[in-house]
Every structure is written in structure tokens, then in C-alpha cells.
Amino acid sequence: MESPRPIAAPPVTVASEAGAAGRWVFDPARFAALGGAPALAGLVAFVPRAWLRRVAGRETFLWPEGDADACVVKRVRASRGRWANWGRTGREPREWWYELLHRGRVRAAGCSEAENLRELGRAGFPVPRPIAAASADGVSLVLMEKVGHDSDLASALAEAPRARREAWLAELAELVARLHAAGFYHRDLYLQHVVLPRESRGGASFVLLDCGRVRRERSPRERWFVKDLAALAHSVPTNVGADEWRAFVARYRERRGAGLELEPLLAAIDAKRARLAAHAPRHVDPDGGKRSRA
């Protein structure tokens, strides 16, 4: 196994994806074209002119700035407060223990998302391509392909006529059913994290984003799938009728083929949606979580 080798400050280690801890390169050619290890090290402390998104401890921006072929950088800073003793991985305690128990190692947040993207892509799901990941003292980042898009699915549904909404929801139901049938569950499957790319990706109308919390298990609990569906229900715009939502769930149930009963499934989704409303991110809440989808 190759030993990690230090590169330019700030202290980041970069190595092949084959083994050494702290070094993750997923697209060597693109990584080299972007400047390789020195450039990746510089991103740990880089301050862009504009942020795509910035919330406490999490930052997303384009790099190189002004480049038509720019990539997306997602950067996580480990907490310095209550959970500071959970290491330099940028993971919350529950995630930290899950990683240790199920994988035998705790991945840094950036590495986790990059590996999730690679696994999803290899399984045939439309996601951004990972390029590289790195970790420094308390900072973790992932560098990935930028997916050109003009809208997320929540915004698109809010402006679309019924026929177009029904077509999109039918395709989404098939995508989510296939995702769950393969043992994946997203854990942040809000419609704002599903985008409509400008260029078709293998015939798919959508690309899944924010895959840092994705998990894959041989026998996942059904409640994790219900949570994904509840997140979708929570973020559906108010112009989507209850009958349209019911048709979506019915199509999902049909494609899953798991012997699910429609009415109990709808009830479970709505109950979970009501609980999600108490702590869902503000940017995914179209109506304050007040309207039932049942």
C-alpha cells in the first residue's frame, strides 16, 4: 500500500484511490489538467469571489473562477464546538459511528461524497462525475463535474403545465424506484437536489445532486425509502395536486415490485413528511410543510 505523501501547505495528503488514507483521485486526467495536487491543496483555504451556497460549516463554489469548464467544489469545515472531538473528518457523531461500524473506517466528508458519486455512476445513475477529494486539518472537500442546468425539478414543476408535470413525475418515480431497488437511499432527496441538465445524460431528464449522505445496503430498512419519498413530498410545489402525487407513488410502487400496498405506503410517507417539516432545510420548503400529500 502506498504511503501518503505530503504536498504544499496547507497540509493535505494526496494519493491514489487504491489505498492510502487521505488521498482520493477519481479522474487522473482531469485532475492533472486542473493543476494536480498543488491546486487541490490551495482549494482548502481558497476564497471565491462568489459562492454557489454557503451555510455554517459548508461551502460550495465554482473553480477555476471564470472558466467555462469550471468544476464544483464542496468544502466542509469540522465543528469547533460541541462535536469537535469527533476528529478531522467533518462527520457528525451518528455518521462517524455508522462509517466505523459498516465500513471499518471513517471517511472524510469530501471523500464520502466522491465515493458515493463514483458508486452511483457505476450503477448507472445520473450524477456528477467526481474528480478528486482531499482533507486537511478540520477541512474536507470534493471536486466534481459541474452539471449545466437552468432549473431544479421543484422550480420546473411549479411552472409546468399538468401534462409536463405528469411526465416528469412518472420518470422520477421510475428513477427513485430503481435507486431503491439497487439498495441505495439518498437521505436528502428533495426536489431541489434533482436538476434538469442542459445536455441529456444517457437519456435521463434528471441529475441527482447532494449525494454526500447516500448509503447503500444489501437489505435496507423500508423506513429509509419512506424518508426519501417523504422528502420529495415535502418539496413538491403546491400546484401539484394530490391526485398527481398519488399517481407518482403508485408508479413508484409498481416499479419497485416489492409487494407494497398503496394506501399504507401513502400514509407512511405523509406521516414522515409531517415530521420532516420540523427540521427540513428552508430552501426545500415550498409551503411551510402545512399541506398533506395523502
**Full-model pTM:** 0.83
Task: Evaluate if residue 13 carries a pLDDT over 50.
Answer: no
Q: Where are the domains of the chain?
A: 5-144, 149-284
- % of the chain beyond a pLDDT of 90: 59
The grid cell for 29 is 486526467
Please tell me the least confidently modeled range out of 150-154, 277-281, 282-286: 282-286
Sign (positive or negative) of CA dihedral 212, 216, 221, 227: positive
pLDDT at residue 118 is higher than 90: yes
CA distance 292 to 46: 44
Inform me whether the pLDDT recorded for 101 exceeds 90.
no
- Residue-wise pLDDT for 188-230, tens only, equals 999 999 999 988 777 789 999 999 989 898 888 899 999 999 9
Say whether 61 sits in a helix, a strand or coil. strand
Task: State the Cα–Cα distance between residues 139 and 108, nearest whole angstrom.
Answer: 9
Sequential DSSP letters for 203-244: TBS-EE---TT-EE-SS--HHHHHHHHHHHHHHS-TTS-HHH
Instruction: Measure the CA–CA gap between 211 and 225, rounded to whole angstroms.
Output: 15
| Whether pLDDT at 85 is above 70 | no
CATH code matching the domain that covers 149-284, chosen among 1.10.10.10, 1.10.510.10, 3.40.50.970, 3.40.50.300: 1.10.510.10
Q: Tell me how far apart the alpha carbons of residues 232 and 228 are, in angstroms, rounded to a whole number.
A: 7
